[in-house]
Chains A and B, each alone.
Chain A
Amino acid sequence: MIPAPFDYHAPQTLEEAFALLETHRDEAKVLSGGQSLLPLLKLRLGAAGHLVDIGRIPGLEYIREEGGFLRIGGRTRESALERSALIHARYPLLAETAAVIADPLVRNLATVGGNLAHGDPANDHPATMLAFRAEIVATGPQGSRTIPIDQFFLGLFQTALAPEEILTEIRIPEPPPRSGGAYVKLERKVGDFATAASAVQVTLGAGGEVARVGIGLTNAGPTPLRATAAESLLSGKPPSDELIAEAARQAGAAATPSADRRGRVEYKREMARVLTARALHRAIQKAIQMGGGH
């Protein structure tokens, strides 16, 4: 399959990229790893008059802790997350997410920023970033602004990014001691989108109670979904098996998936419940293991 014709641009700096985006506005799309955008153009589900490839702009691929945040450059490859010792040691939720996105060859090109900026609720990082309470750094001709993740996803394939803005960084608050996370995904086969998936990031208090918890659901509605009722239920309480079961039930009830070849609505809701229970158990177990702090 061959995409409809477009013009390709390879700016060398962010400034050049902004100028192109300002000129071509709605006609332009940012090309990052291309693993969602190019299939979309090939299948002619979408069209773009101009592709602005950010692949040759230096300084957009990094993973580092700084100023209380884990900072991930927008064009960082998924495979870089998979290989990062820092991610494996401190951010198990991210490590588990990166390992189940598409397949290893796709992850060699696919980027974290692209996974988010695409605005697809079937992608995996949106739920992860909801669970982390991350912030998105959007950079445009006038400079950078940060967008809380809860205000980033506006609708199906719609985000808070302005046409001339580029997602340059993701900021995840550094986890306090006694924190853990897990991503549990049900997929029919490697490379498929999630039938359902649940991302959990939890921090336990000194007494073992849930001090902070984030729960994000993948493919559970037109936008990535935060399971707010389940989060409120858990907060401040010791995470007993009964409480986890009830929180998972509320997360499943919050899901509004649509029926497709992966299953009926009822099945997907039930899977969201089951996977959230598993993710909560695993995240809490990891938080207990990380009891000593960093």
Chain B
Amino acid sequence: MAHHAIHVKVNGGERKAEVESRLLLVHLLREVLGMTGTHIGCDTTHCGACTVLLDGVPVKSCTVLAVQADGREVTTVEGLERDGKLAPIQEGFWQEHGLQCGFCTPGMMLTSHALLQHNPNPGEAEIRQAISGNLCRCTGYVNIVKAVQHAAGKMKTDAQPAEAAPAVA
């Protein structure tokens, strides 16, 4: 069966691989590239544990072929932290105890991270709608919603000095 030489930008770094047509994106990440932050839960497009960003858009990587990602950008949970500093969404999950077992957390964070990119101030209903394709089976969603709101607040505070500067000048 056919093999394909693919180039994928994963968390900003160019990665090359030789893949079989049927290899799924989640298996490329975990087994070929050795990045196990992306989890496999239901493996049937329901649970969202395998969520990654494909060109910035959250998708279920158990339902995408690796070869479909050729020439595109993938962001996994490993790509959220920058220069040893947690992303606001990671800080939110930490501060608000947005996890118990942590299995759904990478997917939850990537979906929420993408939400905050285009809606920096989501209401509870918007957050719950956005994460409705990510299942948590430990605690329910109360602290997860708080975590996303915490991240939204953090992003606003982080952005403020830059915004306030012209007004002072």
Instruction: Please report A residues at the B interface, Cβ cutoff 8 Å.
Output: 1-8, 10, 34-35, 38-39, 41-43, 51, 53, 55, 79, 102-106, 108-109, 190-191
Closest to A51 in B: B21
User: A160 CA to B73 CA in the complex, in Å?
Assistant: 37
A-B contact pairs, 18 of them (CB 8 A): A1-B43, A2-B24, A6-B1, A7-B1, A8-B2, A8-B65, A34-B64, A38-B24, A38-B45, A42-B43, A79-B57, A102-B133, A104-B58, A104-B133, A105-B59, A105-B111, A109-B59, A190-B133
**Distance from A80 Cβ to chain B, minimum over Cβ atoms (Å):** 11
**Distance from A283 Cβ to chain B, minimum over Cβ atoms (Å):** 23
**Distance from B66 Cβ to chain A, minimum over Cβ atoms (Å):** 10
Q: Please count the residue pairs between chain A and chain B whose beta carbons lie under 8 angstroms apart in the complex.
A: 85
Residues of B within 8 A of A35 (CB): 45, 63
Instruction: Please report B residues at the A interface, Cβ cutoff 8 Å.
Output: 1-2, 4, 20-22, 24, 27, 43-46, 48, 51, 57-60, 62-65, 67-68, 70, 111, 129-130, 132-134
B22 lies within 8 A of A106 (CB): no
Residues of A within 8 A of B22 (CB): 2-6, 8, 41
User: A4 CA to B1 CA in the complex, in Å?
Assistant: 10
Closest to A37 in B: B63
Residues of B within 8 A of A106 (CB): 45, 60, 63, 133
Q: Knowing A105-B58, A190-B133, A191-B133 touch, does A8 contact B45 (C-beta < 8 A)? A: no
Q: Knowing A6-B21, A35-B45 touch, does A190 contact B68 (C-beta < 8 A)? A: no
B67 lies within 8 A of A105 (CB): no
B133 lies within 8 A of A39 (CB): no
Residue from B21, B43, B60 in contact with A8 in the complex, judged by beta carbons closer than 8 Å: B21
Closest to A192 in B: B46
User: A108 CA to B48 CA in the complex, in Å?
Assistant: 13
User: A121 CA to B73 CA in the complex, in Å?
Assistant: 35
Q: Knowing A35-B63, A38-B63, A42-B43 touch, does A105 contact B134 (C-beta < 8 A)? A: yes
A34 lies within 8 A of B68 (CB): yes
User: A292 CA to B2 CA in the complex, in Å?
Assistant: 58
Residues of A within 8 A of B20 (CB): 5
**Distance from B143 Cβ to chain A, minimum over Cβ atoms (Å):** 19
Top 9 A-B pairs, shortest CB-CB distance: A103-B133, A8-B21, A105-B133, A5-B1, A190-B132, A7-B2, A3-B22, A108-B57, A38-B63
Residues of B within 8 A of A10 (CB): 67, 70
Q: Knowing A39-B44, A106-B45, A190-B132 touch, does A55 contact B2 (C-beta < 8 A)? A: no
User: A103 CA to B45 CA in the complex, in Å?
Assistant: 9
B46 lies within 8 A of A5 (CB): no
User: A109 CA to B61 CA in the complex, in Å?
Assistant: 11
Residues of A within 8 A of B4 (CB): 8
User: A84 CA to B65 CA in the complex, in Å?
Assistant: 28
User: A38 CA to B45 CA in the complex, in Å?
Assistant: 10
- Other CB < 8 Å A-B pairs besides A34-B68, A104-B111, A104-B133, 19 of them? A1-B44, A3-B22, A4-B22, A5-B1, A5-B20, A6-B1, A7-B2, A8-B21, A10-B67, A34-B64, A34-B65, A79-B57, A104-B129, A105-B111, A105-B133, A106-B63, A108-B59, A190-B133, A191-B46
